[in-house]
Structure 1
Amino acid sequence: MTTTSDDMTQKPLSPPSAVDEEYYWDFVTFSVDDVLYRLPKYRFVNGSETFASEYGLDQDQGSEEEYAGVEDSYPDAVKKLDVAAADFRALLKVLYPKTDKASHQELSLSTDEWLAVLKLSSKWRFNYVRKLAIERLSPLAGMKPSEKIRLGREYAVESWLLSGYKELVTRKAGIAKEEVPLVGWETVHELWGVREMWRSCQATCDCKEIPLRPTLDLTIQDSLRAEFDGIAESQQQYYTRQEREEYAERKAIAEREKEEAVCREAEIVRLALAEEEERKKVEELAKEVEVRRQKLSSPVTSTMKIAVNARPAADSESDVESRPSSPPPKPKRKANRKY
């Protein structure tokens, strides 16, 4: 059997005409401290709109069409990140965990690594990752109160801030001199007042009365209301999608309840005004009836009644007097009789 040259020539394989919508991933290359990292970009795109927009990952690079069937290493641009390589690696451990289980509970990161994750997730608004880092770091066991306060302020974590303040208030030792610059003079002044009030209450109040008094948490928050309000406002930018939906729902409910309260108040005012108007009408009617009663029962009114009753007889006498008198009858003349 002979083989022709045509048989020896093989036609090149045609590239596939379509790509899988779910498992044909775009890759992105980052440069951090002169170290390259090449990763599927979907975690960055889905995890943070802020990061995707800042580094142009949300733009269509045409990989599914232009580079379909070509080698996997298409010429994507290198994104340079101005962060520490160790911090970025800690973030990647959470975004691309090397574990067979989907749960992040299997992640084994040190406290410093979780703090690095918190730092970068807050910087780039990876809000789900940030929430996870806060959960894994809480309650900051072993940290000094001043460090809890610093981290709570820096990353807008209200529970950490409150925990640090509460520890300064309740511990036996007062606020140390070296802690004052870290906490702040004005804050120390407020906390000192709360501390003295709380210690006095603990020493003098009956235990049965303590639950009826404001809790220490509320007392601290009220004393530093401006700071806690600022933290609460800052936390909104770190809401996850679910938290944003829950917040929007709570806000809508609060606004609806406020409108209903305004309507109820307006109805109460309307009813009160109507009741007042009705009361005034009743009072005016009662006064009018009383005036009439007094007029009917007064002596002048009685005299007028008598005069009114006597008026027909008087009128008859006057009529008689005013009536012209008839002339007196003429005397009859006696007839002269002749005898």
Structure 2
Amino acid sequence: MTMATRNDDQFYFTGRFVVLQAGSTRFRVPTDGLIRESQFFSDMFSLPIPASGTTVEGVSDDKPIMLPESISAESFRSLLRLLYPSASLGCSSGEDHAVELSESEWISVLELSTMWYFLRYRKMAISHLNGLLTPIEKVCLGREYKVTFWVEQGYHSLVKRKETISNDEALELMTGSESDHPLTALALLRIREKRAKYFAGRAGWSTPPGNTVERDVERAFGEELSNIRKIEEPYGIAEAPTSDRARDEIDYSTYCYRY
């Protein structure tokens, strides 16, 4: 009688190996992880294989798939550590929670997962980075990698914090978005001034401006936020953690502004 056979759950690897090159560094990895996690690579590897005699990119060290010049070996390695944790951790496939990355490595993961639609790893990167970024970093990275709630949080924090916007921060706010860059800091300072007048007792409002910050930010940056959100939709709109939303409701009426 023939014995029934089955494939091992962990150590029966499907797909083939592919060689990719970032800068001067070659990487040879199984295609299964790339195909499983990214629609971009799934589509790439589903293309028909050329007739025999044609050298296919990625099948050998002599003709690797060349990644864009902007992608460094270090950045690509950060993504591969999540895709193939067993290579460096000795754990089974899928144990991505065991991988520890630095802030800069998570930013690399966010960049590449956005570029290639690794949706699960993009979500992980946003989650890990959320508590590490400054308000300016949230605005700049949120603009670049289409994380709407980061941009909103960054604007809210810059309006509500004690310290004013520095010259260096104003310059950073001028880049990385399709909005009217030179006016970003000015618009935020106008909202801060509105709040400062209230707390100085000169505005004559019946409700604290803390209740109007979201509305003022939406009024000033609504078009930019809407454009970012539209581009973000195919990735799945990321939402602020509950703890962030609660912190955003803090009463800032005791803050003294520094100009």
Q: Above 0.5 in TM-score?
A: yes
**Contact 1:139–1:160 (CA<8 Å) still a contact in 2?**
no
SS in 2 for 1:28: strand
The number of residues matched between the two structures is: 209
SS in 2 for 1:224: helix
> Which residue, 226, 229, 233 being the options, matches 2:230?
233
Letter in 1 for 2:186: H
**Contact 1:45–1:58 (CA<8 Å) still a contact in 2?**
no
Separation (CA, whole Å) in 2 of partners of 1:195 and 1:59: 54
Letter in 1 for 2:112: L
SS in 2 for 1:25: coil
What displacement does 1:59 show?
2.6
CA deviations over 1:112-143 (Å, ceiling 9, x no partner): 111111111111121211111111111334x3
2:169 alignment partner in structure 1: 179
Matched, 1:112 2:100: no
Letter in 1 for 2:136: S
Letter in 2 for 1:80: M
Q: Which has the higher helix share?
A: 1
**Contact 1:90–1:114 (CA<8 Å) still a contact in 2?**
yes
2:47 alignment partner in structure 1: 59
Separation (CA, whole Å) in 1 of partners of 2:101 and 2:137: 20
State the TM-score, normalizing by the size of structure 2.
0.68
1:195-210 paired onto structure 2 within 5 Å = 195-204=192-201, 209-210=207-208
> Which residue, 60, 64, 81 being the options, matches 1:78?
64
User: Percent identity over the alignment?
Assistant: 29
State the TM-score, normalizing by the size of structure 1.
0.53
SS in 2 for 1:38: strand
Query: CA 1:84/1:172 → structure 2, altered by over 3 Å: closer, same or farther?
Result: same
> Which residue, 27, 39, 60 being the options, matches 2:29?
39
1:170-319 paired onto structure 2 within 5 Å = 170-183=160-173, 184-204=181-201, 209-210=207-208, 214-239=211-236
Separation (CA, whole Å) in 2 of partners of 1:168 and 1:43: 40
Letter in 2 for 1:151: L
2:148 alignment partner in structure 1: 158
CA deviations over 1:217-269 (Å, ceiling 9, x no partner): 333122211111111111113239xx9xxxxxxxxxxxxxxxxxxxxxxxxxx
Query: CA 1:180/1:34 → structure 2, altered by over 3 Å: closer, same or farther?
Result: closer
The structure with the largest alpha-carbon Rg is 1
Letter in 2 for 1:222: R
Separation (CA, whole Å) in 1 of partners of 2:116 and 2:143: 18
Stretches of structure 2 that go unaligned for 5 or more consecutive residues are: 53-58, 174-180, 239-259
Query: CA 1:139/1:160 → structure 2, altered by over 3 Å: closer, same or farther?
Result: farther
Letter in 1 for 2:126: I
2:242 alignment partner in structure 1: none
Matched, 1:90 2:78: yes
CA deviations over 1:299-330 (Å, ceiling 9, x no partner): xxxxxxxxxxxxxxxxxxxxxxxxxxxxxxxx
Stretches of structure 1 that go unaligned for 5 or more consecutive residues are: 1-17, 67-73, 244-339
What displacement does 1:178 show?
2.8
Separation (CA, whole Å) in 2 of partners of 1:112 and 1:159: 20
Report 1 or 2 for greater relative contact order, CA contacts < 8 Å, sequence distance ≥ 6: 2
SS in 1 for 2:45: coil
